[in-house]
């Protein structure tokens, strides 16, 4: 080896260190002039101590760019799952814009394509990472994978990923494996480097897949705030040594950019949901037990990224009633029968204050609204939000106590609160006045006038025994289509399910059924699912499909498995 080569080997780390120090000084001066990042962190908290229900809330934080980093996790140039490759191709341009915007504000960007360091041996961003002094204080397990942290121990994992999560069409998968083999790549682990769609700034960025190196980079720059982007949420993003679990446990203020990620989840596995619903379930698990999340539009403006294949409608399900246990029955129903066509967000009423529904503002972004609320006066601004939603002409679905959701019986609301006594008439075309005694058993039957309606066609044959008292709902308004009626011997029949075209042109579906015992019967689940799908302009599931899904779900044991 020549003296020149020896000199370079000895001095290169010092030179890189000096360059890095100078660049850090320049970045620090730029960061001092840069405004803070204004972020909205979404997190979930139990509705009360020990509750299995959660409020989804948002808090504002201001992050100093100089003390912030973005880690790009495993955005590889290839993958054994061709659908994963397609979704990475959609993610990459948005992640590139996201990192470029934040880099310009003084945020540190760390690229972490695991297992690919050999491809970057001579890359300045890789050498910069290895030249950073090892931190004197590191979390004890920062070098190892993390499957779970203490805050997750009591929680059921929301999806079964034991099959590896591939959701490819079998023919596509076979052809893709043949293609990988033909170009000399291992069909099971074909990645060699980060995908080309995400640029690496060799003057400022870092490349590392090591937990100790990345922790040292964060400490070296006094970085306390970290944003994770990349794939796959339920595996690498959570579990890598530099992933969400390790960073959260180590005390970093870490968040997931929830629209810049994807899961490895196969809809053929528990809980048999749409692939993108699988991602939502993992994001919800993270918000409850690991760390908050943000979206890329908070940096880039516009709207969050939505995959081209994600055609689900956003359904807000508002639950605030104390009689019929819909806080239990509706989420379970939703998991079984709405997860294919809807992205469902459940909004629970406060357990301690009747006039509060935390997270109600998320109704504004919904495509449809399902209401199971009983006699709740609300702050005037919250009720105005619901009025605006209805006036927009979007679908509204109501069950049981929704007919008197925002009215009081012989009372006036407290100062600052508002009621909507005409809600039943305005939104459902109903006329709820009371109910028959609980001891009076009723029977229900489809009405001949609605036999050709898609909802009744979906639930035929409708053989059903209602679990609760019969509501007095007649006469209905013009514009309603009665579908099912309830009968008590010696009394006039009362409508128990109907559709309504509102004055704003929007579709509504309402049923006075919804007792806890009703949800134990496939016929009621089919009716409710059909009503929701019809209101949203979708083809209703048939009763046979509902029964098949119930059996499939039961065979899964009703348990979430890793």
The string of DSSP codes covering 150-177 is GGGTTSPPSS--TT------HHHHHHHH
Residue 4 lies in a domain: no
359: left (phi over 0), alpha (psi -120 to 50) or beta: left
Give residue 23's pLDDT.
54
The string of DSSP codes covering 247-297 is HHHTT-EEEEEEEEEE----TTSTT---HHHHHHHHHHHHHHHT--EE-TH
Axis-axis angle for helices 326-337, 543-555 (nearest 10): 100
- 343, two tokens: 């992205």
Which residues 6+ apart lie within 8 Å of 144 measured at CB? 211, 241
- 62, two tokens: 């201001």
Give residue 209's pLDDT.
98
Whether residue 62 is found in the same domain as residue 189? yes
| C-alpha to C-alpha distance for 218 and 203, rounded to whole angstroms | 17
* CATH number of 444's domain: 3.40.50.880
Give residue 2's pLDDT.
53
Between the CA atoms of 355, 358, 361 and 367, what dihedral angle is there, to the nearest 10 degrees? -100
Other beta carbons within 10 Å of 485: 23
Residue 1 lies in a domain: no
Residue 9 lies in a domain: no
Q: Which element (helix H / strand E) includes 319?
A: strand 313-320
Whether residue 357 is found in the same domain as residue 295? no
Give residue 29's pLDDT.
52
Domain hosting residue 545, numbered range: 313-555
| C-alpha to C-alpha distance for 80 and 96, rounded to whole angstroms | 23
Give residue 21's pLDDT.
54
Residue 470 lies in a domain: yes
* Alpha carbons within 13 A on the beta-carbon side of 473: 32
- Whether 336 has a pLDDT exceeding 80, the answer reads yes
Residue 423 lies in a domain: yes
- Whether 426 has a pLDDT exceeding 50, the answer reads yes
Residue 8 lies in a domain: no
Please answer whether residues 530 and 446 qualify as being in contact, where contact means their C-beta atoms are separated by less than 8 angstroms.
no
Q: What is the pLDDT of residues 54-87, one digit of tens each?
A: 999 999 999 999 999 999 999 999 999 999 999 9
Residue 308 lies in a domain: no
- What average pLDDT is seen over the chain? 93
Q: What is the pLDDT of residues 497-553, one digit of tens each?
A: 999 999 999 999 999 999 999 999 999 999 999 999 999 999 998 999 999 999 988
Whether residue 266 is found in the same domain as residue 332? no
Whether residue 393 is found in the same domain as residue 453? yes
| C-alpha to C-alpha distance for 470 and 512, rounded to whole angstroms | 8
Give residue 450's pLDDT.
83
- Whether 367 has a pLDDT exceeding 80, the answer reads yes
Whether residue 275 is found in the same domain as residue 319? no
Whether residue 331 is found in the same domain as residue 446? yes
Whether residue 273 is found in the same domain as residue 396? no
Whether residue 263 is found in the same domain as residue 378? no
Return phi, psi of residue 340, to 5°. Answer: -85, -40
Would you give the DSSP letter of residue 540? Answer: P
| C-alpha to C-alpha distance for 552 and 544, rounded to whole angstroms | 12
Look up the pTM and report it. 0.91
Residue appearing with tokens 């970290």: 226
Give residue 559's pLDDT.
47
Q: How far is CA 35 from CA 20, 218, 233, in A?
A: 23, 21, 30
Whether residue 244 is found in the same domain as residue 340? no
Q: What is the mean pLDDT of residues 119-131?
A: 98
Whether residue 145 is found in the same domain as residue 57? yes
Give residue 449's pLDDT.
85
User: Looking at the 3D structure of the chain, how many domains does it have?
Assistant: 2
At 561, is the pLDDT very low, low, confident or very high (cuts 50, 70, 90)?
Answer: very low
Q: What is the pLDDT of residues 450-499, one digit of tens each?
A: 888 999 999 989 989 999 999 999 999 999 999 999 999 999 999 999 99
| C-alpha to C-alpha distance for 135 and 378, rounded to whole angstroms | 52
Q: What is the mean pLDDT of residues 317-338?
A: 96
Q: Which element (helix H / strand E) includes 24?
A: helix 3-33
Question: Which of 300, 323, 348 is the endpoint of a domain?
Answer: 300
Radius of gyration in angstroms for the set of CA atoms belonging to the chain, rounded to a whole number: 28
Please answer whether residues 205 and 103 qualify as being in contact, where contact means their C-beta atoms are separated by less than 8 angstroms.
yes
| C-alpha to C-alpha distance for 272 and 286, rounded to whole angstroms | 20
Q: What is the pLDDT of residues 109-123, one digit of tens each?
A: 999 999 999 999 999
Q: How far is CA 353 from CA 52, 54, 179, 350, 379, in A?
A: 18, 15, 60, 5, 12
Give residue 281's pLDDT.
97
Residue 305 lies in a domain: no
Whether residue 293 is found in the same domain as residue 317? no
At 438, is the pLDDT very low, low, confident or very high (cuts 50, 70, 90)?
Answer: confident
| C-alpha to C-alpha distance for 289 and 464, rounded to whole angstroms | 40
Cis ω before 271 (30° cut-off from 0): yes
* CATH number of 112's domain: 3.40.50.850
Residue 556 vs residue 42, higher pLDDT: 42
Please answer whether residues 109 and 202 qualify as being in contact, where contact means their C-beta atoms are separated by less than 8 angstroms.
no
Return phi, psi of residue 109, to 5°. Answer: -115, 125
Q: What is the pLDDT of residues 24-60, one digit of tens each?
A: 555 555 545 689 999 999 999 999 998 999 999 999 9
Whether residue 105 is found in the same domain as residue 30? yes
In this prediction, what percent of the chain has a pLDDT beyond 70?
Answer: 93
Nearest Cα to 417, choosing from 371, 375, 372, 383?
383
CA angle 336–539–370, rounded 5-degree value: 55
Buried b (16+ CB within 10 A) or exposed e, 359-380: bbebbeebebbbbbbbbbbbbe
Strands in 480-487's sheet, in edge-to-edge order, are 342-348, 313-320, 368-373, 396-399, 507-511, 494-501, 480-487, 443-446
| C-alpha to C-alpha distance for 23 and 168, rounded to whole angstroms | 45
* Alpha carbons within 13 A on the beta-carbon side of 486: 25
Which residues 6+ apart lie within 8 Å of 379 measured at CB? 355, 416, 417, 418
């Amino acid at each position: 080896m020549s003296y020149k080569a020896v000199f370079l080997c000895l001095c290169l780390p010092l030179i890189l260190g000096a360059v890095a120090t100078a660049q850090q000084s320049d970045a620090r001066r730029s960061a001092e002039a840069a405004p803070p990042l204004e972020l909205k962190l979404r997190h979930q908290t139990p509705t009360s101590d020990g509750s299995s229900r959660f409020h989804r809330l948002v808090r504002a934080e201001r992050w100093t760019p100089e003390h912030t980093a973005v880690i790009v996790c495993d955005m590889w140039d290839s993958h054994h799952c061709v659908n994963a490759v397609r979704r990475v191709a959609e993610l990459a341009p948005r992640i590139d814009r996201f990192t470029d915007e934040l880099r310009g504000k003084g945020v540190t960007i760390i690229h972490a394509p695991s297992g690919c360091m050999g491809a970057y041996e001579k890359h300045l961003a890789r050498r910069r990472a290895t030249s950073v002094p090892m931190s004197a204080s590191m979390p004890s397990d920062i070098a190892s994978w993390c499957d779970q942290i203490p805050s997750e121990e009591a929680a059921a994992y929301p999806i079964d990923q034991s099959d590896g999560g591939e959701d490819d069409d079998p023919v596509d998968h076979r052809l893709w494996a043949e293609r990988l083999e033909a170009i000399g790549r291992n069909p099971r682990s074909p990645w060699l480097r980060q995908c080309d769609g995400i640029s690496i700034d060799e003057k400022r960025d870092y490349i590392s897949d090591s937990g100790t190196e990345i922790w040292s980079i964060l400490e070296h720059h006094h970085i306390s705030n970290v944003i994770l982007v990349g794939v796959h949420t339920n595996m690498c993003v959570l579990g890598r040594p530099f992933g969400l679990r390790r960073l959260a446990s180590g005390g970093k203020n870490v968040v997931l950019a929830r629209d810049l990620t994807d899961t490895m989840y196969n809809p053929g596995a528990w809980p048999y949901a749409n692939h993108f619903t699988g991602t939502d379930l993992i994001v919800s698990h993270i918000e409850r037990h690991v760390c908050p999340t943000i979206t890329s539009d908070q940096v880039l403006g516009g709207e969050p990224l939505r995959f081209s294949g994600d055609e689900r409608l956003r359904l807000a399900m508002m639950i605030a009633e104390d009689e019929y246990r819909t806080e239990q029955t509706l989420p379970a129903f939703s998991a079984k029968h709405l997860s294919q066509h809807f992205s469902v967000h459940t909004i629970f009423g406060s357990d301690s204050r009747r006039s509060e529904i935390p997270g109600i503002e998320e109704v504004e972004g919904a495509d449809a609204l399902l209401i199971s609320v009983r006699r709740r006066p609300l702050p005037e601004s919250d009720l105005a939000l619901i009025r605006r939603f209805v006036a927009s002409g979007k679908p509204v679905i109501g069950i049981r106590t929704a007919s008197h959701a925002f009215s009081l019986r012989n009372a006036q609301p407290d100062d600052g609160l508002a009621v909507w006594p005409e809600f039943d008439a305005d939104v459902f075309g109903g006329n709820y006045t009371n109910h028959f005694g609980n001891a009076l058993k009723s029977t229900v039957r489809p009405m001949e006038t609605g036999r050709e309606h898609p909802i009744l066609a979906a639930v035929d044959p409708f053989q059903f025994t209602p679990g609760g008292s019969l509501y007095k709902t007649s006469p209905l308004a013009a514009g309603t289509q009665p579908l099912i009626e309830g009968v008590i011997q010696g009394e006039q029949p009362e409508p128990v399910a109907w559709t309504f075209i509102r004055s704003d042109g929007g579709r509504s579906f309402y049923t006075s059924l919804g007792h806890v015992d009703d949800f134990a019967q496939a016929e009621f689940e089919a009716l409710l699912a059909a009503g929701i799908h019809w209101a949203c302009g979708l083809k209703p599931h048939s009763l046979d499909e509902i029964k098949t899904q119930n059996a499939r779900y039961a065979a899964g044991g009703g348990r979430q498995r890793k």
